[in-house]
Amino acid sequence: MLNVNAQAKVFPLVPADELLPKLRDRGQRAWVWLTGENLNYLICSDLDNFSSAKKITDLALLYGLTRQWCGRETWSGTARLKDFLTDIFHDPNFIRATRLSPTLYNQFMLAYLAFRSAGDRIDEYESFLMHLRRAGYPATKETLPCRVIELQYYLWKSGIRRTELNWGRTYRASTLGQCRTPAYLSEVDVYVISHIIFYYSDFCGPIKNMPGVERQKAVELMECMLIRYWRTSNLDLMAELLLNLVALDRSDTVLFRSATASLLHAWRPDGVLPGPGVTKLFLDEADEQAVFQRCYHTVLVGFLFCIGYMRRISGNCGQDVGRTQAYSSFSS
Amino acid sequence: MWVERKRIHHSARSARRWLLNRKILAQDAKQQLQRLFGIFAVNDILEEPNYADRSLTHLITRPPSRAESYIDADPILVLAVYRWLRSHGVKWPDLDKLVESYAATINDMSFSLDHELTFPCTLLRKCGFDVRMPARENLYFPSGFSLIAATREEIFELCRLLMVSTACGDHPFLDDELRIVLPGLAVDYACASDFEGACTVLRACAYIGVGETTACRWAAEWILDQQQADGRFGFSGPGMTGGCDETERWLMCLVPTVSAVWSLAELCRPAFMLGKTMHPASYNGDDSLS
């Protein structure tokens, strides 16, 4: 007789009305983990290192989106996060790395643009942006379509570009625009596709003016890939794809709620959402810095998923609302 | 048509040419049944039930010499091929005896029949045997989302159960979760280059009525992409490029090729094996090949 081992990754469906408090709770814990003492691990590494800059970009983006989405009910610790980022952007090594390459709009500049989206300005970078414009950048820069979309998004968010992204030639030339089947997509391709949806939806939607055919294709692709990466327990991509589905207005399905229940269950009480390939043994035995390096991106995108869902479903993604209820619901 | 019909027909024709290779006459009954079943599936895809060239006539008028190996054959394939041969007026005495023994065994059972016998019993009835049928009952399967954590073997077992219990989709099946998960699993297997996995899950999708979803189209197109220039399916490996003769290479690709055309046939017409009813005792069709 068939005896499917259902215990490993599948958990009872979370009723729709319980999803919001549970996501708020996990978001709360992820936020504390991201913006607490762990922040120091970001400056332990060399700041002029490209992968450090990527982490700073993600953090600056998180800061900008939290400010934008949560408004006055912004989360406690936001001021500390702003101070932390400001210190990094004033670090001579970071400034040097930003100005080093004339081909510019590199990862270091993207980090600043993400920071700028919250309305903050730093003179060194502002003057450099003017020099770049005079030199013909970013138009002079030749880039892959997905990078063009990324850059246009950051320019728009930072207030330098006035118009939002449109579903024109660049989209059509992108991986998502060209994709006819997911059968040959690599993991990197799936990340590219999920990021394209992030940029066009301003991360959690609603998406404006997306052609119906493209929307349908995106939903079907995301749902197929969600099943694929759920099976391999890749929580990083699961969180990205779930946020994509929120943006695409597909968060009321059984698939979405079942996958979310699985993601919620994997979230540890200390706020850690295990990164790809991270085992329970690793989490139990590795030091905090090692855990931070391996789980940072997954916790960050998991947090964005939580507040993105809260913003779209309840219109409120502040920390304070329902805090007591959220904490009490963790063990349920 | 959810996949371009012209492409499916071209692929099916090419696979049939490969299956009909006259130089190879498998002596093993199990292999011979698989081969004929593949041809039968192609004929259904192409809507050519009476197709019979010289190669096919040559093939079906030579029953396997090692009849004892029928014992290993899948009863579903046995019944499907038996029915198809009889509809063309062809008799293989050993095969006839085997099918008669199936019917006798079922009727001799003193206890109620398991629902897994639904499909064999349906096929036996279509072949003209008066056999009992399992009682209609609600079927219980694991929750669709539990398949996320299931092993390959468990998923294959579920697909087999879906085939026999629903009689390849002839009996209605209601489980919304499976309808969501199975097409995604078919794509997952395609992404993982698991040919047999994609074919098996795709057939199960056809049985539960979701064969025309976009995900199934993606999986079906991936299967079609795997066909080689000579019509066979299956991946090239070290054993296929050297070190073995033509017959061995042919046998290596027999199962994947039959699996592919079977899946395509189920997608084009679920429960195609059930086709029209016939009566072996009185059958005297005009399409006799013998």
Residue B257's nearest CA partner among B85, B26, B48 is B26
How high is the pLDDT of residue A249? 96
Kindly report, residue by residue over A101-128, the tens digit of the pLDDT: 756 578 889 999 999 999 999 999 999 9
| Closest listed residue to residue A35, CA positions, set A68, A60, A52 | A60
Given an 8 Å threshold on Cβ–Cβ distance, is A227 in contact with B190?
Answer: no
Q: Are A255 and A223 in contact (CB under 8 A)?
A: yes
Q: Is residue B134 reached through a cis peptide bond, with omega within 30 degrees of 0 on the bond before it? A: no
Q: What residue in B sits closest to A223 (Cα-Cα)?
A: B184
Q: What is the pLDDT of residue A198?
A: 97
Residue A161 and residue A170 in contact, taking contact as beta carbons nearer than 8 Å: no
Distance from the Cα of B23 to chain A's closest Cα (Å) equals 36
The listed range with the strongest mean pLDDT (A11-20, A125-134, A275-284) is: A275-284
Say whether A237 sits in a helix, a strand or coil: helix
Q: Domain map of chain B by residue range?
A: 3-133+147-276
Distance CA A63, CA A82 (A): 7
Residue A60 one-letter amino acid: A
| CA pair distance B41, B267, nearest whole angstrom | 11
Instruction: Determine whether the interchain pair A10/B143 forms a contact, defined as Cβ–Cβ distance below 8 Å.
Output: yes
| Phi and psi torsions of B3, nearest 5° | -115, 145
Is A4 in Cβ contact with B147 (below 8 Å)?
yes
- Is residue A260's pLDDT more than 90? yes
What is the per-residue pLDDT for A330? 35
Cβ density class B140-159: b for 16+ within 10 Å, e for less: ebbbbbbbbbbeeebbbbbb
| Cα distances (Å, whole numbers) of residue B37 to A99, B77, B131, B226 | 69, 7, 23, 20
Query: Which of A10, A179, A245 is best to mutate for the B interface (most B CBs within 10 A)?
Result: A10
- Taking the CA of residue B188 and the nearest CA in chain A, the distance in Å comes to 5
Cα–chain center distance at B179:
21
Across residues A283-309, what is the average pLDDT?
96
CA pair distance A166, A164, nearest whole angstrom? 6
Average pLDDT over residues A300-312: 96
Q: Do A181 and B154 touch (CB under 8 A)?
A: no
Among A33-37, A192-196, B34-38, B244-248, the range scoring the smallest mean pLDDT is B244-248
Distance separating alpha carbons of residues A164 and B220, to the nearest angstrom: 38
Q: Residue B28 in 3-state DSSP?
A: strand
Angle at which helices A107-116 and A50-70 pack, to 10 degrees?
Answer: 20
Distance of residue B91 Cα from the nearest chain A Cα, in angstroms: 36
pLDDT tens, position by position, B53-82:
888 888 888 887 766 677 778 899 999 999
Q: Report the length, in residues, of chain A.
A: 332
Average pLDDT, chain B: 86
Residues in A touching B149 (Cβ below 8 Å)? 4-10, 231
Res A104: pLDDT: 59
Q: Is A213 on the interface with B (CB under 8 A)?
A: no
DSSP letter (8 states) at residue A274: P
DSSP B139: -
Q: Is the pLDDT of residue B232 over 60?
A: yes
3-state secondary structure of B66: strand
β-partners of residue B28 are B66
Would you say residue A4 has pLDDT above 60? no
- Tell me the DSSP string of A28-87: HHHHHHHHSGGGHHHHHS-TTSHHHHHHHHHHHHHHHHHHHHHGGGPPTTHHHHHHHHHH
- What confidence score (pLDDT) does residue B144 get? 82
**The token pair that represents B149 in the structure block:** 């954590």
Q: How far apart are CA A273 and CA B139, in angstroms?
A: 38
Q: What is the mean pLDDT of chain A?
A: 88
Q: Say whether A177 sits in a helix, a strand or coil.
A: helix
CB B93 within 8 A of CB B141: no
Cβ neighbours of residue A232 under 8 Å, at least 6 residues apart? none
Work out the pLDDT band at B1, boundaries 50, 70, 90.
very low
- Measured between beta carbons, the chain A residues lying within 8 angstroms of B152 are none
User: Structure tokens of A165?
Assistant: 């992204």
- pLDDT exceeds cutoff 90 at B259: yes
Contact A297, A42 (CB under 8 A): no
In chain A, which residues have their Cβ closer than 8 Å to the Cβ of B185? 227
Closest CA to B168 of B212, B202, B144: B202
- Percent of the residues in chain A that have a pLDDT greater than 70, as a whole number: 89
Inter-chain CB pairs, A–B, below 8 Å:
84
User: What is the structure's pLDDT at A192?
Assistant: 97
Q: For B186-229, how does the pLDDT look when each residue is reduced to its tens digit (9 = 90+)?
A: 999 999 999 999 999 999 999 999 999 999 999 999 999 999 99
Query: Which residues have C-beta within 8 Å of that of residue B267, sequence separation ≥ 6?
Result: B2, B3, B202, B205, B206, B211, B212, B216, B220
Residues sharing a CB contact under 8 Å with residue A47, sequence separation 6 or more, in sequence order: A53, A56, A88, A91, A93, A94, A97
Taking CB atoms and an 8 Å limit, are A183 and B187 in contact across chains? Answer: yes
Question: Nearest chain B Cα to A230, which residue?
Answer: B148
SS3 content of chain B, % helix, strand, coil (to 5): 60, 0, 40
CA nearest to A1 within chain B = B157
Residue B239 confidence (pLDDT): 54
Long-range contacts of the stretch A44-50 (C-beta < 8 A, 24+): A44/A289, A46/A93, A47/A88, A47/A91, A47/A93, A47/A94, A47/A97, A48/A93, A48/A94, A48/A96, A48/A97, A50/A107
Q: How far is CA A225 from the centre of its chain?
A: 17
Q: How confident is the model at residue B88 (pLDDT cuts 50, 70, 90)?
A: confident
Q: How close is the nearest chain A Cα to the Cα of B257, in Å?
A: 20
A262–chain B Cβ distance below 8 A for any pair? yes
Q: What does the buried/exposed string (b/e) look like for A206-223 if buried means 16 or more CB atoms within 10 Å of the residue's CB?
A: ebeebeeebeebbbbbbb
- Which of A292, A330, A331, A332 lies closest to A23 in space, CA to CA? A330
The radius of gyration of chain A from alpha carbons, rounded to an integer in Å, stands at 20
Chain segment A206-222, per-residue pLDDT in tens: 998 999 999 999 999 99
Contact B169/A10 with Cβ under 8 angstroms?
no
Q: Can you give the pLDDT at residue B27?
A: 67
- Chain B residue nearest residue A231, CA to CA: B148
Residue A317 above 80 pLDDT? no
Is residue A199 over pLDDT 50?
A: yes
d(CA A228, CA B60): 43
Q: What pLDDT is attached to residue A51?
A: 76
Between residues B23 and A168, the one the model is more confident about = A168
In angstroms, what is the C-alpha Rg of chain B?
A: 19
**To 5 degrees, how large is the angle CA B133–CA B136–CA B137?**
135
Q: So what's the pLDDT on residue B289? A: 38
For residue B280, name the pLDDT band (cuts at 50, 70, 90).
Answer: very low
Q: Using CB atoms within 10 Å of the CB of residue A23, give its burial: 0 to 12 exposed, 13 to 18 middle, 19+ buried.
A: buried
Interface of A with B in 118-137 (CB under 8 A): none
On chain A, the residues whose CB falls within 8 A of the CB of B190 are: 183
A226 neighbourhood in chain B, CB within 8 Å: 184
DSSP state, residue A320: S
Residue type at position A74? T
Q: What is the pLDDT of residues B173-186, one digit of tens each?
A: 777 889 999 999 99
Do residue B215 and residue A224 have CB atoms under 8 angstroms apart?
Answer: yes
Q: What is the structure's pLDDT at A103?
A: 60
pTM for the whole thing?
Answer: 0.91
Q: For position A325, what pLDDT does the model report?
A: 38
Amino acid letter, A71: G
Strand partners, B66: B28
